[in-house]
Structure 1
Amino acid sequence: MQRSVRRAAARVLAASVLWRLVCVATLLLTTHTQTAFDTSGALLRWTLPDAETETAWDTWAVPFVRWDTVYFVGMAHPRGGYQYEQMLAFQPGIVGVLRVLGKSDSGWSPTLAVVRTAVLANILSCVSPVLLYFTTRTQFRSEKIALRAALLSICAPASGTALSSPTPEPFFSFLALLGLMCLSWDAKPRLARLFASVYFAAATFFRANGVLLSGFLVWHALWRPCLRRIPRAVAAWTCDTLVATGCVLFVWLPLALQQAWSYAHLCPGRPWCNEIVPLPYSYIQAAYWDVGLGRYWTMAQVPNFVLAAPVLGLGTWACVRLAHSWRRVWTDTWWPWHSTGQACELAYVYYTAAVLALLLFVSHVQIALRFATPGGLPLLWWGAAHLRDEHPRMGRILLGYLLWYSLAATVLYAGFYPPA
């Protein structure tokens, strides 16, 4: 590794560690200096068996137990698990980490589970911008863009909230970037796809939207060789197709296994059991979390759309800017052997557009703020770096927004106030 690369990576890591310390200190301080709007975090240990003696809970664990983490800790208890149907909206990855890290000589401790998982989450959140730096250098061959994107991603909107707490986001971001880095290993592309599929499957173990990462495997196997004009015989093309198919199925496996487990344990007796394809995930998201096409488009949710607007707007601009032109999109998609080979593979544009469309039309739109992590939406940060370079004034506004919003969101999160 070149000395300049090591120096830049060290700079990103140092800045990331410093910002992590600021975020965690702010979260701890503001939790203990304000009255929480919701006391679920403080009361949670009284609902857990054998947790009455956890005297350190209020001091060290409660600041990190907000919103969905209340569910995660309850499910992580050895006598917990998926006790209620609505809990099936969550993938088991973060629950498994909490359960493992909560083990002690005297049994299972919710305080240890939360604190240890929060420490691990912060470590991964420190490393993820460094991984984004290496991924960006591979895509753009530009030190300036790589360094700028990585540094901006440190101050992601959720940097003081979801990325500081025992949530799926730090793990998903880290694992997604590891998989994307594997796909840059040109020496052994098939082996690279196998390793990437393992990391993408692990990411899906934490968030169901990890299945969208499988699109990168298809692009890597079938489109990238054409884009780079790599000659392949029919046998090699067939082999790549079969390997890619197997890798895609492997990425989908964590979600499929959870759906199969749900069917085996809950059916018959649930409305979704009699569907042609009995998937509890879509039913539960609609029935319990009001997720569905256009269901969030109401006047009451306008503030949430306003909160998500910076992420959605920047993501859309990044897609348009890095796709270069509709002609390039058409050529790279349908006639990749005629591609001009511009930087930033179109797979990232498609992936980002798919995630933004889901957020805007189907999901709770405000979770765009949690999705905008270094590994959750890498292209978002590439767009931010280009914006900072090409439109300095807008770039300064963006940097100010990231800094101030991150700190404001941390204070609100500590008080159990929205946005979640």
Structure 2
Amino acid sequence: MKIPLRILAVSAAWRVVCLALLFVSAQLQQPFDTSGDIVQYTLAKSGNPAAWVSWAAPFVRWDTVYFVAAADYGYTHEQMLAFQPGIVGLIRLADYLHPGNGWNPTVAVLVATALANLAAWLGPLLLFYLVRMWSGNDGVAFRAALLSVLAPASTTAMSAPTPEPFFSVFSLLGYLALTSSSAILNGWKRPTAAICFAIATLFRANGLLLAGYLVWHAAWQSKPASFSQFLLRLVGVIPWLLVSVSPWILFQIWAYARLCTGGTISPWCTSRLPLAYSYIQSTYWDVGLFRYWTVSQLPNFILASPVLLAMAHALQTFTSRHSYRNLIMTVAMPWKRMPLHAESSKVLPYVLHVMIMLMILLMASHVQIALRLCTPGGLPYGY
């Protein structure tokens, strides 16, 4: 069996195992998180409550409760604005695939779950093609793809209607577009990647970081002849940067228009830069610099430590192969840089991405989300 088919077979088998574990465990015991069972009472009076408990509730956990509620009623609470609208819209649209009258939350959740698992099934294959482009080694790419199948998020976030599977697939498609040597994409690499990154950002706000790959591809990938050429490259990529980050910007504009233009307004509306996202993350989710550094959160740091250590090891492995001076010159003054190994040049933007994410996870985020971000396209540290 060819390697791509083997990856798809293993990924499909693991999808079946994950879905079976979620479904069977929900039927055999009272879940620790009962949100999936009780959220039905907040939904519109449509569908069959018994069908919801039996079929949909096993896949409605943690943040998915917000996604389903927003799909039913819209963004009714300010804290919901922490979530990008991609998954909310998908759950809402999923219901149109059934012929019944009225919005049926059970059908919507099941269809969205099926689409999430389809994306999760394809992710490892896309990662295989990407790593093979980096390394030129089928064996390394195959092992990376198999490891991604068993990512920490695979049994939960990748099996339920959450943003992670879709963010993963569209991030990988964007990476592949920029890395591809296909003649079909000649002249269209950055536009294609920008659209893929925009779709990924529609699902997760940290997709903003993906715009950095467009900047790297335009201004750093090949050595600029001079500082002025470097600046011209940066200016030329601005339209595609705007495409990439547009879902987040438009969502912030929508939030401002909805909450800040009449009646009682939220405190963030009068800020110098009125962004709902940063205010809500800080106020409702207690996200901020070193806020998570408390004794009570030590178990969460331990829980996330395998992912964090893998990221740190990837960074150490890469930097140990190069002089720090050359790496700094490559990033800070690319027109004066010394040549890097061809493979290292391809991998360096991913290394920078991992470094930034590691700093954010350690210093400013709920550190345990490292387990959810550890998906085939979420944290590309397979080098």
Q: Do both proteins adopt the same fold according to a TM-score greater than 0.5, normalized to the shorter chain?
A: yes
* Separation (CA, whole Å) in 2 of partners of 1:327 and 1:127: 39
Counterparts of 2:198 and 2:31, CA distance in 1 = 37
Of residues 198, 201, 204, the one that matches 2:198 is: 201
Structure 2 unpaired stretches of 5+: none
Query: Structure 1 residue aligned with 2:171, among 152, 156, 176?
Result: 176
Q: Which residue of 2 aligns with 1:225?
A: 222
Residue 212 of structure 2 corresponds to 215
Q: Would the aligned equivalents of 2:33 and 2:62 in 1 still touch at CA under 8 Å?
A: no
The gaps in structure 1 that reach 5 residues or longer are 1-5, 383-420
CA distance in 1, matches of 2:176, 2:47: 45
Write out aligned runs for 1:326-337 (5 A).
326-333=324-331, 334-335=333-334, 337=337
AA aligned to 2:212 is G
When normalised by structure 2's length, the TM-score is 0.92
Aligned residue among 270, 273, 288 for 1:274: 270
Alignment of 1:106-185 (within 5 A): 106-185=101-180
Name the amino acid aligned to 1:349: V
CA contact (8 A) 1:46 1:52 kept: no
2:367 is aligned, of 365, 368, 371, to 365
Deviation at 1:342, TM superposition (A): 4.1
Are 1:163 and 1:170, in contact at CA under 8 Å, matched by a contact in 2? yes
- Tell me what 1:340 maps to: 340
Matched, 1:311 2:311: no
What is the CA–CA distance in structure 2 between the aligned matches of 1:305 and 1:373, rounded to whole Å?
19
Distance 1:47 1:30 in 2: 24
Residues 94 and 107 in structure 2, CA contact (< 8 A), matched pair in contact too: yes
1:167-198 CA distance string (max 9 Å, x none): 00000000000000000134556410110000
Q: Give the 3 Å change call, closer, same or farther, for CA 328–24 of structure 1 in structure 2.
A: farther
Counterparts of 2:130 and 2:217 in 1: how far apart (Å)?
15
Q: Work out whether residues 255 and 276 of structure 2, in 8 Å CA contact, stay in contact via their aligned partners in 1.
A: yes
CA distance in 2, matches of 1:349, 1:199: 20
CA distance in 2, matches of 1:363, 1:378: 19
- Answer whether contact 1:332 1:346 (CA < 8 A) is retained: no
CA offset digits 1:79-111 (Å, max 9, x no partner): x11100000000000000000002233121111
Residue 83 of structure 2 aligns with an amino acid whose one-letter code is: F
1:361 and 1:171 map into 2 onto residues whose CA distance is 26
Out of 19, 37, 60, which is 1:42 matched to? 37
Is the 1:293–1:361 contact (alpha carbons within 8 Å) kept by the matching residues of 2? yes
Deviations 1:325-361 (A, max 9, x none): 3244224223465223242421111111111111111
* Corresponding residue of 1:8: 3
Which digits, 9 at most, give the CA deviation of each residue in 1:229-265, with x for residues without a partner? 8x79978x67643341111121111111111111111
Task: Pick the aligned partner of 2:288 from 288, 292, 299.
Answer: 292
Query: What letter is aligned with 1:351?
Result: H
Which range is displaced more, 17-26 or 166-175? 17-26
In structure 1, distance between residues paired with 2:103 and 2:236: 41
User: Aligned in 2, Cα 1:232/1:127: closer, same or farther, shift over 3 Å?
Assistant: farther
> What is the TM-score of this pair, normalised by structure 1?
0.84
Q: Alignment length, in residue pairs?
A: 370
SS class of match (1:158): coil
Superposed, 1:232-271 pairs within 5 Å as 240-267=233-260, 269-271=265-267
Question: 1:348, 1:356 → 2: CA distance?
Answer: 12
Alignment correspondent of 1:20: 15
Judging changes above 3 Å, is the alpha-carbon distance between structure 1 residues 192 and 182 closer, same or farther for their aligned structure 2 residues?
A: same
Separation in 1, partners of 2:226, 2:330? 18
Q: Distance in 2 between matches of 1:169 and 1:335?
A: 34
Tell me which residue corresponds to 1:86.
Answer: 79
Bigger mean CA offset, 323-332 vs 110-119: 323-332
Which of 333, 355, 358 pairs up with 1:356? Answer: 358
Indicate if the aligned counterparts of 1:129 and 1:374 stay in contact, CA closer than 8 A: yes
State the 1:31 CA deviation: 1.1
Whole-Å separation in 2 of the counterparts to 1:332 and 1:189? 26
